[in-house]
Amino acid sequence: MALDHSFPPEDPQGTGRGAEWFAELVGSRKLTPKGKELAHYIASNPRQASFASAAEFATQLHVNPATVVRFAQALGFDGWPAFQLHFRHRYLSTLLPSDVMIDQAPHGGASPAEQALRRDIDNLEATLSTVDFGELQRVAQTIAGARRTLCIASGSYAAVASVLAQHASFMGYRVGVETRGGPHLVGALASLEPGDCVISVSFWRLVREVVVATQISHRRRLTTVALVDSVFSPLARAADHVLVVPTEGVSFFQSMTAALSLVHGLLAELHRIGGEQADRTIRDAQSLFDDLKILYSPTEG
């Protein structure tokens, strides 16, 4: 069955109708008549806009590639690739997992495993060229200055939140994680006070509970941080600080490789900020591992 690659009438995340998010972006800018024409074509042909190069897109519309680049810049991006990165993730979020599996299916001679690894490399390179390192440092300072920090996530995204909480705790930061949702999430949020920090991790088809919890946290004057795959994400709108990473995979699921790499960078910043105190806490944790005999010893045979 052929896929319908236009935006569906309903957003599956319950965050608005169809391409309303793109209409809002376009409506907030003063575009030339040619820019408005490009915007209409993009809204009607999201898959092509998601994957075509500026030159390919320009050829389809019978315009100069520079016109396509200027359009992206008029929307606030450095160029077409930067716009396309965020637009593509938002487009993919309108597809069901089974549709993404078809849309992102590996092609060519390489094996699916090799193409998955290459896609992860592309994601890491895109992260390195687009991440806001100043924002990353501000997030690290926020965690370091907070009385408590709570990471919330669900499903496979919980892996990202768990790595952050686990290693930050080993450096002495009071960082917890809640991935069960429901009453467990209520209890975790209820214990936070203004000035504490909430870090929300959700990508692609957002987990509603995570989005709503972030919105509530913001209203309660908690500092909110969102780790997302697009600036168009409704989760980003609810956050004081936003970190964006690509999560495209080659199957029905999203890749967490770039997100985990960004978390490793955040942890490195926290280690730098913690200084000698963080080092002492790490050494104490190492002693506890030995005292509790948690790790396997080669002498055990």
Tell me the β-bridge partners of 183.
none
Could you tell me the pLDDT band of residue 186, with boundaries at 50, 70 and 90? very high
- The CATH number of the domain where 193 resides is what? 3.40.50.10490
**3-class state of residue 242 by DSSP:** strand
Q: Is 48 left (phi over 0), alpha (psi -120 to 50) or beta?
A: alpha
Give the whole-angstrom CA distance, residue 57 versus residue 66.
Answer: 11
Rounded Cα distance, 122 and 125, in Å: 5
State the Rg of the chain over Cα.
21
Please give the structure tokens belonging to residue 6: 């236009």
Residues 245, 167, single domain; the answer is: yes
Summarised one tens digit per residue, pLDDT across range 270-294 is 999 999 999 999 999 999 988 998 8
Backbone angles phi, psi at 288, to 5 degrees: -65, -40
Residue 117: inside a domain: no
Residue 115 lies in a domain: no
Does residue 48 lie in a domain region? yes
Q: What is the pLDDT of residue 50?
A: 81
DSSP assigned state of 298 = G
Query: Looking at the domain assignment, is residue 150 inside a domain?
Result: yes
Looking at the structure, tell me whether residues 78 and 143 fall in a common domain: no
Identify the band that residue 108 occupies on the pLDDT scale cut at 50, 70 and 90: low
pLDDT at 156 over 80: yes
Residue ending a domain, among 49, 78, 94, is: 94
Degrees to nearest 5, angle at CA 80 with 78 and 81: 90
Residues 189 and 265 in one domain: yes
Tell me, yes or no, whether 31 and 179 share the same domain.
Answer: no
Which of 82-86, 123-127, 147-151 has the highest mean predicted lDDT (pLDDT)?
147-151
